[in-house]
Chains A and B, each alone.
Chain A
C-alpha cells in the first residue's frame, strides 16, 4: 500500500479563453491587492510579453498566453488562496471570455515496493495480451474518463503514470474539466455558445465558486480509491 500522503502534489486552475498576458504580472496583482506587496516584490518573473507571461512566487505559479491562463500551487495549504486569487482576478476582469475551466490536482505517491508499483500497472493494463506483441510491455500512461456527476458540461479524467519525480512512484492527475462553450470542429473556427461564456467570465466564476469543494473532495476520493486498487 502506498503512503497516503503524496510526496509531491499540486493544484492548478487552467482556463481557456481570450487573455491579455501582459496584464498578469506581479505588480498588477499587488496593485489590485490580490497578492501581498512583499510577495509581488519578490516574485521571480520569467517573462512578461503581449504573448506570454510567466512568474512564480513562494507558493504560486502564473502562466498566461493569449488563449490560456494557469494558476498553480504545490502547497496544500494554499489551495484556497489559489481559488480566491482566480476568483478575484476574473471578478476584476469580468469581461474576459472564458470557454472552459480545468480544476487539476496532481500527486506523486511512493508505492513502497517494486511489487506494489508493478501491481498497479498490471492491474489497470494487464500485460498478458501484450506478450508476444511487445518486448517487456509496461504501462507508460493510462487515462480514464468519466462523465460529470453535476449540472456542468465536461468530463473528469484520471491519468496514471510512473512518476518521473519519485523512483517507484505513482503519478496521479485529476482533470476536472468544465465546458462552458462548444469547441470548434476545426482549428481557426469560432467557439459556439448560446451563453455569455464567449464574452464574460460569469459562468466560470459561478462554477469555480460553486463546484470547488465537491471537486476537491472528488479528487481526494479518486486518488485514495486508486491507491486502494
Chain B
C-alpha cells in the first residue's frame, strides 16, 4: 500500500544537522531567526505606517522544511506587543512568469517617441539584433534612466496570475546598477587589502 505523506510542518522536532548556523547560506536557514525584542523595536512602513504581518493558518509560508522551533522569518508565534495591521499572508504567490525569450539591451539612440537598442540574447549565442521600442513601453522611473548606453533587460513570456489566467507579456526593465570603473574596483580592493594588513598586524 502506498501512503501519501503529509508535508513537514511546524511540529517537527528533529534536530537540524547540516550547515552550522554561522555558515549556512541556504535561504531557508532564515528559519533559525529568533524573534527580536519587539518591546524596543520601531516598526515602520511606507509613509510611517505600522505593520506586522502574521502567517495565516494553513499557509505554506516560504519554508519547505521548517526548523525545529517552527518559526519562520518575522512570522511570530507569539502576539507581538506592537499593533498588527491585518494583511495578506507572506507566502508563495503561485503567480509566475514563464520566460520565452530574454535579452539584454544597450540603448543606441533616443528619439522623441522611441529609442533604438542593440539586443543580445541572454541565454543563447544568437547574433545581436537591433530593435526600436516606444518610450511609452517604459514606466515613469525607467524613463528617467533612458539615455544612450543605458542597459536594460527585455523579457517576453507568459504571465500566469494567481487565478490561473495566462497573458502574454513583454517587460522592459532598466538596469539599476551604478557603474564601477576598473579603477574604482582596484581602489576598493587596495583599501580593503591595506586595512586587512593593518588588522592582521595587531
Contact = CB atoms under 8 A, between A and B. Distances in A.
Contacts of B30: 14, 63, 68, 70
Contacts of A12: 27
A114 B171 contact: no
Contact of A63 (B25, B41, B73, B99): B73
Contacts, number: 217
A7 interface: yes
Main secondary structure of the interface of A (DSSP, over half): mixed
A187 B99 CA distance: 43
B142 A36 contact: yes
Nearest to A105: B27
A124 interface: no
Contacts of B200: 194
A15 B25 contact: yes
B189 A202 contact: yes
Interface residues of B, number: 78
B86 interface: no
Contacts of B193: 196
Contacts of B173: 81
Given A38-B139, A91-B178, A171-B64, A136 B23 contact: no
Closest 9 CB pairs of A and B: A102-B25, A164-B7, A196-B192, A36-B141, A45-B45, A200-B192, A12-B27, A77-B155, A51-B36
Interface of A: 5, 7-9, 12, 14-16, 25-27, 33-52, 54, 56, 61, 63, 65, 67-68, 70, 72, 74-78, 80-81, 84-85, 87-88, 91-92, 94-95, 99-102, 104, 106, 114, 118, 136, 138, 140-141, 143, 157, 159, 161-165, 167-168, 171, 173, 175, 177-179, 183-184, 187, 191, 194-196, 198-200, 202
